[in-house]
A and B are shown apart, each in its own frame.
Chain A
Amino acid sequence: MVDGANGRLVYQGYVIADLAQEMSFEEVAYLLWEGQLPNRSQLDALTSELAASRQLTKAANTALDALPKDTDPMDVLRSIVSVQGVEHRLASPTRPLAIHATASFPTILAMFYRRKLGLEPVQPRPDLGHAANYLHMMNGKEASPEVVRALNTYLVLLADHGMNASTFTARVIASTESDLSSALVGAIGALKGPAHGGAPSAVIEQLEEIGAAPDAERWMRDARKRKVKFMGFGHRVYRVYDPRAKILKEMCQRMNPKFFSLASKVEEIALTILHEEHPERPQSTNVEFYSAGVLQAIGLPKEFFTPTFAVSRVAGWSAHVLEQAAHNRIIRPQSEYIGPEPRKPVPLAQRG
Chain B
Amino acid sequence: MAEFSPGLEGVVAAETAVSEVDGANGRLIYRGGYLIEDLVPVTSYEEVAYLLWHGELPNEKDLDAVRQHMSRARRLKDSARKTLMAMEPSTDPMDVLRTVVSAQGASPALTKPNLEEAVALTAVFPTIVGAVLRRRQGKDPVEPRDDLGHAANLLWSLEGKDPDSQKVHLVDSYLVLLADHGLNASTFAARVVASTGSDLASCVVGAIAALKGPAHGGATLAARNMLDKIGSAENAERWLTDAHARHERFSGFGHRVYRTYDPRAKILREMAKTASPELHRTAARTEEVALKILHDAHPERPNATNVDFWASVVLTGAGIPKELFTTVFATSRVSGWTAHVLESLSDLRIIRPASRWIGPEPGRKPLQLAKR
Contacts and interface: CB of A to CB of B under 8 A. Distances in A.
Given A90-B214, A335-B14, A342-B34, A82 B360 contact: no
Given A86-B92, A176-B186, A192-B110, A348 B8 contact: no
Contact of B105 (A75, A89, A183): A75
B297 interface: no
Interface in A318-352: 329-349, 351-352
B189 interface: yes
B274 interface: no
Contacts of B33: 339-343
A190 B199 CA distance: 9
Given A59-B86, A63-B103, A176 B193 contact: no
A59 B87 contact: yes
Interface string A14-28: 110011001100010
Interface stretch (A143-151, A164-172, A260-268, A278-286): A164-172
Given A75-B105, A164-B352, A192-B110, A90 B92 contact: yes
Interface residues of B, number: 110
Contacts of B257: 332
Given A75-B105, A88-B92, A173-B206, A1 B17 contact: no
Interface in A150-206: 162-166, 168-169, 172-179, 181-183, 185-186, 188-198
A68 B86 contact: no
B372 interface: yes
B294 interface: no
Given A8-B362, A75-B107, A189-B203, A236 B350 contact: yes
A176 to B, nearest CB: 3
Contacts of A15: 362-363
A332 B256 contact: yes
Given A173-B210, A189-B198, A341-B33, A63 B38 contact: no
Contact of A14 (B83, B217, B366): B366
Contacts of B78: 66
Contacts of A351: 57-60
B68 interface: no
Given A79-B106, A332-B183, A19 B188 contact: no
Interface residues of A, number: 98
A27 B368 CA distance: 11
B352 A165 contact: yes
A99 interface: no
Contacts of B98: 82, 182, 185
A19 to B, nearest CB: 6
A1 B209 contact: no
A337 B361 CA distance: 42
Given A169-B206, A348-B42, A334 B183 contact: yes
B47 interface: yes
Contact of B103 (A67, A168, A192, A340): A67
Interface string B196-226: 1111011101101111111111100000000
A245 interface: no
Interface stretch (B24-32, B167-175, B305-313): B24-32
B114 interface: no
A147 to B, nearest CB: 22
Contacts of B95: 82, 85-87, 181-182
B8 to A, nearest CB: 4
Contacts of B102: 75, 78-79, 82, 185
A29 B15 CA distance: 38
Interface string B3-16: 00011111111111
Contact of A72 (B9, B107, B211): B107
Given A75-B201, A346-B57, A332 B38 contact: no
B63 interface: yes
A1 B362 contact: yes
Contacts of B94: 182
Contacts of B245: none
Determine which residue in B92, B103, B196, B210 has the highest number of CB atoms from chain A within 10 A of its CB, and name it: B196
A165 B196 contact: yes
A334 B15 CA distance: 9
A60 to B, nearest CB: 8
A225 to B, nearest CB: 23
Contacts of B203: 189
Contact of B106 (A65, A67, A178, A337): A67
A351 to B, nearest CB: 4
5 contacts: A38-B369, A67-B103, A163-B353, A165-B352, A185-B206
Interface of A: 1, 3, 8, 10, 12-15, 18-19, 22-23, 27, 35, 37-40, 43, 58-59, 62-63, 65-68, 70-72, 75-76, 78-79, 82-83, 85-90, 162-166, 168-169, 172-179, 181-183, 185-186, 188-198, 236-237, 329-349, 351-352
